[in-house]
Structure 1
Amino acid sequence: MECSEEGKTILGTYVLREEANVWLKNAKMRLGPGGIAIPWEMFK
């Protein structure tokens, strides 16, 4: 299947955005009231 560079960029952006949204949703649940704090060191 052929895909233009613009199409690849759009698809890649969409996939990354969705992955980030899932991560943020999960992080908010953990960091919410009574959640576990995640220190910056874990992200390095």
Structure 2
Amino acid sequence: MRCLDEHRVLLGGYVLHDEADHWWANAKQRLGAGGAFITWARFKR
């Protein structure tokens, strides 16, 4: 994507934030409505 150099960090942050939102919504759905305790080791997988 073309953008000014001074806007690249903002754009990168926006793209990563959007991806993280999708990931978290999917993770919550897999864990179920009741939630679950997740260890750091399991989270990293």
TM-score, with length taken from structure 1: 0.66
Aligned residues with identical type, % of pairs:
49
Q: Which runs of 5+ in 2 are unaligned?
A: none
Question: Aligned pairs, how many?
Answer: 44
Matches within 5 A, 1:3-42: 3-33=3-33, 40-42=40-42
Q: Which runs of 5+ in 1 are unaligned?
A: none
TM-score, with length taken from structure 2: 0.65
